[in-house]
Structure 1
């Protein structure tokens, strides 16, 4: 029996001590890994090549309540218990779920190394359902949450447009009240919408304010999609995450009941930014695991691959590449762990305020380190790492997923700038508060 490959798992799963993980966290990890391995990881590469995950895989996850952990902590306990969901795998009570459990789940789901298979199952639930939980009124929740939380229906988040990605405030999809006042008439397009092709509903950003109203004119609306009059959807061919169902959506005079408005009209930008925090943390965790898969695969390969009469691992330049990438990887994971732990210790409003900008930085840094680890793997695999079959096929697939980690959820350069601007804003607010106190 061989020892684990270096970098193949986080330190706490390699037997090293950690102050972050309780008995509950360790028990949860041991329970979900075999399930995810059997129902997803074992066939992930094959399914990604086919570009679609079989429908029964989603059904298996839904029946086992294994889509629930993708929701932000704390879970919607009241709703889950109403629906008969009291525990998750490993006997974890839904009221005990925290962001360390969330981190463990996201890390385990990404162990295939490629994001498409897991994203095809979880992205809609992870980012489309939370706005309904957080901002929907009681009647709206009664209409949608029972089917969405149990996986009977599927949802997605639809923000991005052909001409408005990270520039959310300038989306152009309009929602105009009908003369009778009973409907919003929605017109526009959404692009790069993960899971859209399978979604029954979408938590969609729309412009309810006049042209030029910017962020103040945005609202969130639950828009029916699959088979709904006026909605046309088609899948997009993308470089990576090919099985995740990336979708182009056209909306032509789509009649949406006014009761489908999420929260208060004109507050959409605020709701969207709050939702981004969970999205960016989830992406950062999964991307860091993808980097780990790439680097550990390279490590394993160079220990057995011979060149110039000896294993590649005997070459100082090879060890140097592994060392540099490994240092970046483990420092990123330490930051991810710290971040998730902080989320367990802070009230949500405080976390949104204090960690919002840094969540963007965490996500951006994850993409930067993923690129370094993927580069390292491809270079060390050589020609095999550039071939879509054989020993290096997984590394080649991972390499194509790097842009998909650096662009969605806020592109890298935008997030780097956002983080600093948020830090400046926090500093100024706190300084002003201290000055006010000093004058009293």
Structure 2
């Protein structure tokens, strides 16, 4: 809770001093510890590193050594594994066994306080989305081989699903994994595109086609990347999130042991879709903070910038624009905050069904809100917000990042459609379950 005046829209209400039903002392301790660590080790230089398009390796190592990559995993955390590795708490602020989705939300929010998704994404995207399939669906032998190094940050991984011709259309992935005649290896051929963190990763949790067309032909493999025979990687130049290591991967007769199969053949589509819920919720949380950073910066600017003989804040049209976006960002925060709380109350299998469609919609809406708030900030900054240096530099950068929320992780239109389809499906299933059995005379 802040004890000094807070710039309007700059902090979530619970930090600004307003009461909330969600947060316990463990969450408030965690927020303070996160802010101190992340401010010192990431945010102070985030804009510079993003300009240079790469966050230095020592930053990743600092976060790994402090256990500060682990909070990017879905909650609850893999407590048994972490304790085996000697990790009992994070920053001394929260025990691994008490970590819940509100802690996750706080972490994602604090990691994006620079206003940029690239610097934090360069550290966390791989472990956040690449490790869960192994944790959730990998057999004990697979976990023993990979988790010790991945959970401690000694090795890096990524999630590799998207292809040049298959983005949101996951069911039509064409990268193939064909078994050798002796049944001991898969031979992987194909391309993956827009793979965040790929360029730095020793491994990937990769969606591949082991069977026929459609979703039932998909599986997931742990495919080695960096320096592995048959794998060629290059960084892609993208409009935003430029420091996150967006990568194009070519796979030419890549030989992968069959023991690297995650779960069972043909179940890959289910694994991918389950993983998307965590990905989309964390994207929504981070994007909401980005929108908040843009709007708060605009608020500070209009308080001091004068035009036509008075500060901009005294112009009704300026206040109207700010109010409209302020209502959007606070409403969006209330939604993701509600999501995080619901995740602490529902069993995962129930949350996947009940919240899956809504999570897709929340992610899409976060992109819309970010776009509106970044555009508002740029207009209020005027020429300064359109300049890649000076006092509007951050605003110009944030506005370029908005498409990086609206497209990756499931494009906006697809997410909105998916959300409604999932809600309708749930409704029909519940309605059908209530209908009396055929031939029954019971009311």
1:2 Cα deviation after fit = 6.6
1:180, distance to aligned residue in structure 2 (A): 1.5
Q: In structure 2, how many angstroms separate the alpha carbons of the residues matched to 1:356 and 1:89?
A: 31
| CA displacement 1:234-261 (0-9 Å, x = unmatched) | 0000000000000000000000000000
Checking the alignment, whether the CA contact within 8 Å between 2:61 and 2:153 is kept in structure 1 is yes
Question: What is the CA–CA distance in structure 2 between the aligned matches of 1:50 and 1:94, rounded to whole Å?
Answer: 35
Alpha-carbon displacement from aligned partner over 1:194-217 (angstroms, at most 9, x marks no partner): 00000000000000003xx20000
Which SS does the other structure have where 1:53 is aligned? Answer: coil
Q: Deviations over 1:287-306 (max 9, x none)?
A: 00000000000000000000
Q: Give the TM-score taking structure 2 as reference length.
A: 0.98
Q: 1:360-397 CA distances to partner (integer Å, 9 max, x unpaired)?
A: 00000000111110010000000000000001000000
Q: State the SS of the aligned residue for 2:408.
A: coil
**Mapped partners of 2:164, 2:23: distance in 1:** 42
- 2:120 maps to 1:138: no
Structure 2: distance between partners of 1:19 and 1:71: 24
| Alignment-derived partner of residue 280 in structure 1 | 280
Alignment map for 1:25-44 (pairs within 5 Å): 25-44=27-46
Asked if 1:305 corresponds to 2:305, the answer is: yes
Distance 2:93 2:419 in 1: 38
Corresponding position of 2:355: 355
Give the match for residue 408 of structure 2: 408
Cα distance change on mapping 1:318 and 1:123 into 2, 3 Å? same
Deviation of residue 94 (structure 1)?
0.4
Two-structure CA RMSD over aligned residues (Å): 1.0
The alpha carbon displacement at 1:437 in A equals: 6.8
Q: Distance in 2 between matches of 1:264 and 1:168?
A: 18
Paired position in structure 2 for 1:270: 270
Q: List, as ranges, runs of 4+ consecutive aligned residues in structure 1 with deviation greater than 6 Å.
A: none
- What does residue 326 of structure 1 align with? 326
- 1:4 and 1:300 mapped to 2: Cα distance? 11
CA deviations on 1:127-182 (whole Å, 9 max, x unpaired) are 00000100110000000000000000000000000000000000100000011111
Cα contact 1:193–1:248 (8 A) shared by 2: yes
The residue that corresponds to 1:295 in the other structure is: 295
Please show how residues 187-336 of structure 1 align to structure 2 within 5 Å.
187-210=189-212, 213-336=213-336
Partner of 2:155: 153
CA displacement 1:335-377 (0-9 Å, x = unmatched): 0100110000000000001110110000000001111100100
1:119 aligns with 2:121: yes
Q: Distance in 1 between matches of 2:429 and 2:46?
A: 47
**Per-residue deviation, 1:90:** 3.9
Give 5+ residue unaligned stretches, structure 1.
none
**Contact 2:150 2:156 survives alignment (8 Å):** yes
Q: Distance in 2 between matches of 1:432 and 1:40?
A: 51
SS in 2 for 1:344: helix
Deviation sequence 1:400-440 (CA, Å, 0-9, x none)? 00000101110000000000100110010000001137955
Structure 2 CA distance for aligned equivalents of residues 119 and 337 of structure 1: 21
